[in-house]
């Protein structure tokens, strides 16, 4: 009802999945989309007021959302189900590597730097084990 009053289109809220970066981005993106609804819900239900982010917290959420959007775009290309993605895989994987390497040192704010470093560690651990196989496949495909 509040969404209609505020003139917002309805979007399905997505829950976070800790192994999928794009689900975190989508969850935060939709939360930001409904930013104006949060205080209105708190007016209707005072218990909800404890969950309404402050303006400073919204800024952090929006920064994280902008950071993760880069990865969500890459994941969308790799996970494309209506077109072949094998030929795009290595390029997109390399984009993620570059983004992580650059962003792990770029951000001055600690929450973004820590997040980028943690993502970089997971990425490196995962791909270190199969980078030779991926390289061989890439050579055979081109």
Domain boundaries along the sequence of the chain: 1-67, 80-142
Classify the C-alpha dihedral 10-12-15-19 as positive or negative: negative
Q: Pick the more confident residue, 126 or 98.
A: 98
Instruction: Write out pLDDT tens, residues 21-54.
Output: 678 888 888 888 888 888 887 888 888 888 888 9
Residue appearing with tokens 């909800």:
48
Q: How far is CA 62 from the centre of its chain?
A: 11
Q: Within the chain, where are the H helices?
A: 2-5, 21-33, 37-44, 55-78, 86-106, 110-128, 131-141
Per-residue pLDDT, 2 = 47
C-beta separation of 104 from 98 below 8 A: no
In the predicted model, is pLDDT for residue 96 greater than 80? yes
**In this structure, what token pair is assigned to residue 64?**
């994280």
pLDDT band with cut points at 50, 70 and 90 for residue 92: confident
Residues in the chain: 142
Per-residue pLDDT, 86 = 65
pTM of the model: 0.68
């Amino acid at each position: 009802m509040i969404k209609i009053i505020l003139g917002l289109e309805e979007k399905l809220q997505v829950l976070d999945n800790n192994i999928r970066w794009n689900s975190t981005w989508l969850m935060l993106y939709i939360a930001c989309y409904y930013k104006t609804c949060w205080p209105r819900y708190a007016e209707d239900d005072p218990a909800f007021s404890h969950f309404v982010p402050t303006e400073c917290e919204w800024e952090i959420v929006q920064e994280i959302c902008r950071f993760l959007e880069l990865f969500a775009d890459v994941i969308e290309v790799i996970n494309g189900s209506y077109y072949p993605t094998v030929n795009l895989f290595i390029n997109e994987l390399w984009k993620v590597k570059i983004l992580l390497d650059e962003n792990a040192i770029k951000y001055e704010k600690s929450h973004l730097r820590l997040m980028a470093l943690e993502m970089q560690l997971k990425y490196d651990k995962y791909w270190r084990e199969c980078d030779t196989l991926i390289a061989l496949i890439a050579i055979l495909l081109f």
